[in-house]
Amino acid sequence: MFIVSPSILAADFSVMGAEIKKVEKAGAKYIHLDVMDGMFVPNMSFGAPVIASVRKTSSIIFDVHLMITEPQRYIDDFLKAGADIITIHYESCEDPLSVIRYIRSKECRAAIAIKPATPPEVVYPMLKELDMVLVMTVEPGFGGQKMKPECLEKVRAIRTYANENGIDIDIQVDGGLTPDNTKMATEAGANVIVAGSAVFNAPKAKVVIDQMKRASELYPFGSGLGERVDVGKVRKRG
């Protein structure tokens, strides 16, 4: 399943609830929420209280990307706030697999993100315990950057390894994605596209999301990927 997950970082924070509704109506299936602590990355954004507040405005899947040091300290806070997917960075803690197992034990989808300099092989041993891998196509921390196309080779490597080992997993890409380069990402093996400025800064979000969907039509790995239980309906929020 091909999914567009607009990044709320590019939205108007003064009307965040309305911005979420706008892109949901335009065809987005997820909302990507970037949490930054000013330590793991050189920027700060928002935390669990903000997510809990906007959770009241929509039932869309909350795709929470934790760009924070030692994320295990705050997993329960983000679960309580209403996260449906929690992504931690491989580079952010000593034992990422234990954090992944904890997230999944709480009936929440769990994902690992890797920075541009991190080799794809680090995720291979844990793929069977992941719901998604996020390959960063820019250095994390700031929106509006141009995609590093060389990072798509890591997407290709992870998808190839997953296929060869019979592992059904979503691969997400984040950083500089637009309708013009979405095809490159999906051909490499990605099926979840994070797009911030391209969606929220567009005159009509639906036009951009539709363009991205059309660009994914040559996706070479089949349409069965990502067809999992909608955890937004499974988890009891609160």
| Positions marked catalytic | 34, 174
Distance CA 134, CA 203 (A): 28
Q: How far apart are the first and last CA of the chain?
A: 28
| Pair of tokens at residue 89 | 């960075």
The secondary element (H helix, E strand) that includes residue 3 is: strand 3-6
Distance CA 185, CA 205 (A): 20
Q: Which of 79, 80, 76, 186 is nearest to 137 (CA)?
A: 186
| Pair of tokens at residue 45 | 């954004």
Would you list the DSSP string of 171-218?
EEEESS--TTTHHHHHHHT--EEEESHHHHTSS-HHHHHHHHHHHTTT
How many angstroms from the chain centroid is the CA of residue 67? 12
| Beta strand ranges found along 21-161 (DSSP E) | 30-36, 61-67, 85-89, 109-114, 132-136
- Residue with the two structure tokens 């490159």: 184
Question: Which amino acid, one-letter code, is at 78?
Answer: F
